[in-house]
């Protein structure tokens, strides 16, 4: 995308959005979702472990 950004700036027609900011937002959302899911699996695993004791 960096090449496209340079071309857009040279032509002065359009300014492309900062894709790194968009990607970072998406990644942080995915990480938060994964943490929630892993917490569910951890609590499920603890419950199974306690049930088998």
- With tokens 């990607």, the residue in question is 23
The SS3 assignment for 29 reads: helix
Q: Are 17 and 4 in contact (CB under 8 A)?
A: no
8 A C-beta contact, residue 20 and residue 2:
no
Q: What is the pLDDT of residue 12?
A: 57
Q: Is 13 helix (H, G, I), strand (E, B) or coil?
A: coil
Instruction: Give me the average pLDDT of each 10-residue run along the chain (53 residues).
Output: 63 67 89 93 92 87
Q: What are phi and psi of 12, to 5 degrees?
A: 55, 25
Residue 38 contacts residue 32 (beta carbons within 8 Å)? no
* pTM higher than the cut 0.75: no
């Amino acid at each position: 995308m960096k090449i496209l950004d340079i071309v857009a700036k040279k032509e002065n027609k359009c300014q492309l959005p900062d894709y790194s900011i968009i990607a970072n937002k998406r990644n942080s959302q995915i990480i938060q979702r994964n943490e929630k899911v892993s917490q569910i699996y951890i609590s499920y695993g603890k419950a199974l472990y306690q049930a088998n004791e």
